[in-house]
Chains A and B, each alone.
Chain A
Amino acid sequence: MSSTGGVWVLVEHRDDKLEDGSLELVGHGREVAGKTGQELAAVIFGEIPEELVTQLARYGASRVLCIKHPAAPERSVEIDTQLLSAAIEQHSPDMVLSLESITGADIARRLAARLGTGLVTACDRLDVGEDNLLAAVKPIYGSKASATIICPTSRPQMATVNPDAIDLKTPDDTASAEVVVLPVDIDLEDPGTKAVDLLRGDPRLVALVEAEIVVAGGIGLGSRENWKLVEELADAIGGSVAATRRAVDDEWITSDRQVGLTGKTVRPKLYIACGISGAIQHTMGMKDAKAIIAINTDREAPIFKMADVGVIGDVLKVLPVLTAKLREALKDKPEPGADAVFEALSNP
């Protein structure tokens, strides 16, 4: 492989685990590389365990480039940007891709600014257009339209891809990748910023609009005593508690936790509706959740029409068992919030 050109995919890893969406992006980047007759390199900072190299290789990385500075400076988005920028100037890749994750989004924007090149952020898909140019497709106007954007002249061409936008490709179990250390010996500039503390959010109390998992309860819970079943499930799965208006009216929970027309609109990754029939006043506030689980005794309840999984059963019986099983399954495992720590620590 020549020393210039190629598709670089920035990959984050921590605790022997790749950041969610990394393999999807490598797989998708491999297609782009293939269409433009180039090879794909996964780019990491520091060192990477052998099994992650194997994973990256199986999804399409020909090489894994490990960026190393002799002083091994403490990592931050700004330091990472300076190192990556120097490596890019040395090796002139044709394209640089990253995830639109908290760290990836930040590094990509700083990098594009430092290199004075163009960047298309938060894409849903990457295509190849005329002259082998990267044609990045991204949602615009409140995701009510999409735009195809190219970077005609400046290099590298850059794009960030939404972590949940692409599917995992079929791995090639016979593939292997060469690990190459890229020494970057530059004088580091003072970024002018310094992370001094990390404040962990309590998932149960997180503002509903920020919650990734929401456990909501409705009138089907029956009483204030039973409401604790909702709270316990939320606790076990690391979710935030929400409610329908009727649950709020019965004072099982405060009104800032109400979802629906007269409450909050949420778009979590998972919404568990417990004892909620699915009146439109409520569903207007949660219909865009990525996955919906509904638990209700009435099989005709409208909530089932929008549920990914419908559980026809009594919440009072299902919730305690589910909570117990979750606690059992998560025992000795990283907490559900571990991803946030990963994100936070890799971005000090």
Chain B
Amino acid sequence: MNIVVCVKQVPDIEGRVVVEKGVISVQAMVSSDVMNPQDLLAIEEAIRIKEESGNGKVTVISLGSSETEETLRKCLALGADDAVLLDDSAFVDGDSYATACTLARAISPIPHDIILCGQRADDSQSGQVSAYLARILGVSLVRSVVKVDIGPDSGSLVLQRKLSKGDREVVECSLPTVLAVETGLNTPRNATIKGVLKARNRQIPRQNCGDLGLSREETGVTGSRTRTMRISPPKPKMKGLFVPDSKLSSADKLRAIMGGGIVQKKSDYLEGDPDDIAGQLLRFFREQKIIQK
């Protein structure tokens, strides 16, 4: 089974995120850039599928710059066979659409039965590259994948998709296909020392616009469908107010608040008869739509 894994190097969002004059930066404790966590799951799964099917190649591919080599080398150390770095100033700051167009050009000539992507990147929180990629390559797409098994005829996969509240949907899917993988898929292995040493001296081939047969307009900012107008610090989270009926009009809500009929969330205490308390909690559950009616 030939597998291509799309990876992205992202800022370590565990660090302090600073927005200053519309420019975003991350002040991280250790290293500033890491492999997108879900992409690491994709790599692990690719290696597992290859081991199980007993043949084929795992190729990792990433849009980036020289710094991205580190992430690709990590993939090689973990067991990927090949790595490709798409590096051109024209690729910079593209949206999901432009990124997928660029990736698709690079993936087309590589033998692929399965293309694995992390469901979403930690930085953009967009989760769209897999969908655009599947469409451009003309193959099927399954999202939220948390389990991958090779089908009985080796020409298909049996997948589990994550729904809400622990439910899983079992999906059969023909090949080739794009899978967007979710947290819970597997536990990534650590690289072996042998693997790290082997990967250390590998040459990682680079491809630019010309190599992919793309014009500069077709990629990056100019090739994007969307444009980011503004980046701002997040709005502070509002502590909601306890409202007897969320369907009240604004005027009625205001009247209720002014009249002291409503207590701010934090200071709402219930005390006394357990029967009474339970009744009030039930009302709270209904207001919060935790139970119906």
Contacts and interface: CB of A to CB of B under 8 A. Distances in A.
Interface of A: 20, 78, 102, 105-106, 109-110, 112-114, 116-122, 124, 129, 135, 138-154, 167-168, 170-171, 191-203, 205-207, 209-213, 237-238, 269-270, 291, 293, 299, 304-313, 317-318, 321-322, 324-326, 329-330, 333-334, 336-341, 343-344, 347-348
Contacts of B191: none
Contacts of B291: 237, 326, 329-330, 333, 336
A196 B271 CA distance: 50
Interface residues of B, number: 88
A339 B163 CA distance: 11
Contacts of B274: 313, 317-318, 321-322
Contacts of B100: 113
A259 B124 CA distance: 28
B211 interface: no
Contacts of B272: 313
B173 interface: yes
Contacts of B231: 140, 145-148
Given A202-B166, A326-B282, A146 B232 contact: yes
Contacts of B134: 113
A201 B167 contact: yes
B169 A325 contact: no
Given A305-B266, A311-B281, A193 B163 contact: no
B131 A112 contact: yes
Interface stretch (B43-51, B83-91, B108-116, B220-228): B220-228
A191 B124 CA distance: 28
Interface of B: 11, 13-14, 17, 19, 24, 26, 95-97, 100, 122-128, 130-132, 134-136, 139-144, 158, 160, 162-174, 177, 183-184, 224-235, 242, 246-247, 249-250, 265-266, 268-272, 274-275, 277-282, 284-285, 288-293
B169 to A, nearest CB: 6
A138 B141 CA distance: 24
B165 A337 contact: yes
Given A114-B135, A192-B177, A203 B165 contact: yes
Contact of B250 (A150, A170, A207, A340): A170
B78 to A, nearest CB: 24
Contact of B143 (A109, A152, A299, A325): A109
Contacts of B141: 110, 193
Given A145-B231, A149-B227, A210 B166 contact: yes
Nearest to B230: A148
